[in-house]
Amino acid sequence: MKSDIASTFLPVAPPVILDGLYSDDQRRRMLDVVRREGPWSLILAQYFSSPEEVIATTTGRLPEGFKPTWDMFLNPVFRGYFARDGVNYFPELDDCFYNPKFINLVRDYWKTPYVECDQLMFNLQGPSSAGGAPHVDGTHFRGLYGNNAPTWLLNIMAKSGLFRRWQAKKAQVIAWYYQGTIGGGFHYWPDGPDKSPATLEAPMWGRGVVVENEMMFHSSQGCGPVDQRRPAGLTIKSTISADPETSNGWRIKTGDEVVAKVPEKEFRLLIHWGAQVYGDLAELKLARDHSDDMTVDRAIDMLISDLRARGETFEVPTDPVRDPDFISLLTRVYDIGQLKDVPEDPSAPRRAA
Ligand SMILES: [Fe+2]
């Protein structure tokens, strides 16, 4: 493990574990929107335009000349947004998004009053595997966001440690609803990726965590029967939606074809509320007046200087943002290595408590 990089990945405070994050009424209203508004696409399909970009966001590293394919990463986990960039799309969920309880949890967590509601999103899954290596969540920097910079670049910037001055301060309140009997928990590395992880075990019904997932490695635990975790016919274009034939079931489709049905008892719902945090008013002002913004060109220049300082020899590509060889080089140099004690996905039911 490259300790100079790995040791910088510590959350601002230890995760706080809480129960009853949403009321039954709030959960029902959120689920009503999810069932009404689908279908929802794969997480992978929403953030990446090539398999190389997936590699760049994880700790993985490929042998020279190996060409990754989507098939390596396909996992039936889907995502949608209730609120994004500070805007709630569904007025019936105002209390879930503009959530005073969560705002105050994050104020306590970061020790600052300046907290701004950023997003409310959900992951939907039936039986699935952990879905890749543990990761840190995509972050952004003053001036560079998901809508004007590729995900892989933002992740490399975070891993490099060169851009902390511009990096957003964030926190999340994440809640799970899963009553299946196999797996379905949450692994996290609160003491850094070179120390042993902790696991929040399922079953969970409104239990969750206050975390800083941009600076803490984490992963979900695989869930459900092993032989159902990879439906035949699943592709990068598959979607999930409410199953009209059952009152609480779901179905996964590829085009018009139903490739899997997910019964309520195997359905895992994650609700992810995210906030932006400012340490003081000066920092808030810098974010708002754009007097200290990062740009893609400046970020690439800083990365190239750092690669040279590290003794790497390479040709600067004409289109570095889309050049697979350049992306692979950055991935190798800022690889934090293997995380300590990555748990195996469980295959057998938990023992009854
Ligand atoms: Fe994550």
Predicted confidence pLDDT, tens digits, the chain (353 residues): 455 788 889 999 999 999 999 999 999 999 999 999 999 999 999 988 888 777 766 545 567 778 888 888 899 999 999 999 999 999 999 999 999 999 999 999 999 999 999 999 999 999 999 877 788 888 999 999 988 998 889 989 998 999 999 999 999 999 999 999 999 999 999 999 999 999 999 999 999 999 999 999 999 999 999 999 999 999 999 999 999 999 899 999 999 999 999 999 999 999 999 999 999 999 999 999 999 999 999 999 999 999 999 999 999 999 998 888 898 899 889 988 888 999 999 999 987 55
Ligand 1: centre distance to CA 64 (Å): 28
Q: In this structure, which residues have their CB less than 5 angstroms from ion ligand 1?
A: 137
What pLDDT is recorded for position 51? 85
Does residue 244 lie within any of the structural domains?
yes
- Residue burial 108-146, b: 16+ Cβ < 10 Å; e: rest: ebbebeebebbbbbbbbbbbbbbbbebbbbbbbbbbbee
What pLDDT, on the 0 to 100 scale, is given for residue 61? 59
Whether 182 is in a domain gets the answer yes
What is the whole-number distance in angstroms between the Cα of residue 199 and the centre of ligand 1? 14
Instruction: Let me know: does 7 contact 163? Beta carbons within 8 Å.
Output: no
CATH of the domain at 72: 2.60.120.620
Q: Could you tell me how far CA 66 lies from the centroid of its own chain?
A: 26
Task: Give distance in angstroms: CA of 134 to centre of ligand 1.
Answer: 8
Residue 351 lies in a domain: no
Say how many C-beta atoms besides its own lie within 10 A of residue 344's C-beta: 8
CA–centroid distance, 71 to ligand 1, in Å, is: 20
Q: Is residue 338 part of a domain?
A: no
Is 257 a domain residue? yes
Q: How many domains does the chain have?
A: 1
Residue in 289, 292, 54 with CA at minimum distance from that of residue 167: 292
Q: How far is the CA of 306 from the centre of ligand 1 (A)?
A: 27
The pLDDT of residue 40 is 98
339 inside domain: no
Question: Could you tell me the residue range of the domain that residue 274 belongs to?
Answer: 3-333
SS3 for 290?
Answer: coil
What is the distance between the alpha carbons of residues 220 and 186, in angstroms, rounded to a whole number? Answer: 5
Q: Is residue 353 part of a domain?
A: no
Residue 234 belongs to a domain:
yes
CA 132-329-196 angle, to 5 degrees, is: 40
Q: Specify the pLDDT at position 1.
A: 47
